[in-house]
Amino acid sequence: MKIDVLTLFPDMFNGVFAESIIKRAMDNNLVEINVYNIRDYSKDPHKKVDDTPYGGGAGMVLMCQPIFDAVKALRSDNSKVILLTPSGKLYKQSIALDLSLEKHLIIICGHYEGFDERIKTICDMELSIGDYILTGGEIPAMVLIDSITRLIDGVIRKESYLNESFTDNLLDYPTYTKPRVYDGLVVPDVLVNGDHAKIDKWRREQQIEITKNNRPDLLKGDDSCE
């Protein structure tokens, strides 16, 4: 997979992908990540990329020209262009799974007051990582890249994410490791009795209970949890 990021602050990405799983994925040529400065595509002599909003109001708005030209330069037949915006569809694990199957992603990071609305016409998808406001789209872009890259075939073992949080609309079950007793806290007996059928049943029950308590919204319409 190839991932291209369009941003006004490329230095924010320095070092973010130079560690751990994403670095190994890049070293093994499973993913290619490129970061481009939107200003490099501006035709303004001073590399201007924003202007005041029509109709008045606070802040500056990102202009069409630099972003249109940047996307045109990077886009190919198998590209999917993603606009990061608070008004976008809420990002979920199911979307990450779908995007991990794509060949080429172009991620546009917003900043300042927002985008010229016409920029949405060149995008395939608008995404938001949550109901809160950040200073720009750089951190959300990092979230997308991290969550998508780990799902690319060959990056991690499939077993590592098939039963984790948000699979089947459930949060993950509790996990423990040695020692069996620590500071008076004991690992549940069911996990050390060797009965894998009972272990699987306990884990499923724990997933449902934890999800009911912490994220009941995930269970709506999920017949598997009845």
Specify whether 91 is located in the same domain as 198: no
Q: Are 21 and 43 within one domain?
A: yes
Instruction: Examine residue 19 and state whether it is found in any structural domain, yes or no.
Output: yes
Pairwise CA distance, residues 8 & 6, whole Å: 7
Tell me whether residue 79 is in a domain. yes
Token pair in block for residue 152: 């690319």
**Does one domain contain both 52 and 142?**
yes
Look at residue 204 and tell me if it is in a domain.
Answer: yes
CA 39 to chain centre: 24
Number of domains in the chain: 2
**Same domain flag for 10 and 114:** yes
Encoding tokens for residue 153? 């075939």
List, in order, residues 6 or more apart from 23 with CB less than 8 Å away.
Answer: 17
In a domain, 21, yes or no: yes
Tens of each residue's pLDDT in the chain, 226 residues: 999 999 999 999 998 888 889 999 999 999 999 999 999 999 999 999 999 999 988 889 999 999 999 999 999 999 999 999 999 999 999 999 999 999 999 999 988 778 999 999 999 999 999 999 899 999 999 999 999 999 999 998 776 665 556 667 889 899 999 999 999 999 999 999 999 999 999 999 999 999 999 999 988 855 444 4
Tokens of 226: 């009845």
Does the residue 157 lie in any domain? no
Q: Which two tokens stand for residue 21?
A: 């799983």
Q: What is the pTM of this model?
A: 0.85
Burial 115-129 (b: 16+ CB within 10 A, else e): bbeebeebbebbbbb
* 70 and 177 inside one domain: no
Residue 185 to residue 203: CA distance in whole angstroms: 19
**Cβ contact 49:8 at 8 Å:** yes
Q: What is the CATH number of the domain that holds 68?
A: 3.40.1280.10
Q: Are residues 120 and 170 in the same domain?
A: no
Last residue of a domain, one of 114, 149, 184: 149
Q: What residues make up the domain containing 46? A: 2-149
Three-state DSSP class for residue 2: strand
Answer yes or no: do 167 and 136 share one domain.
Answer: no
| pLDDT of the residue at 18 | 87
Q: What is the pLDDT at residue 42? A: 97
Q: State both tokens at 80.
A: 């999917």
How does strand 61-62 pair with strand 114-115? parallel
Residues 54, 120: one domain? yes
Whether 25 and 89 share a structural domain: yes
Residues 192 and 85 both lie in one domain: no
67: part of which helix (H) or strand (E)? helix 64-74
- Please report the pLDDT score of residue 50 as a whole number: 94
> Both 84 and 53 in a single domain?
yes
Burial of 11 (0-12, 13-18, 19+ CB in 10 A): exposed
Is 145 inside a domain boundary? yes
Residue 125 lies inside a defined structural domain of this protein: yes
Cα(219)–Cα(211) distance, integer angstroms = 7
| 186 shares a domain with 144 | no
Is the residue at 85 inside a domain? yes
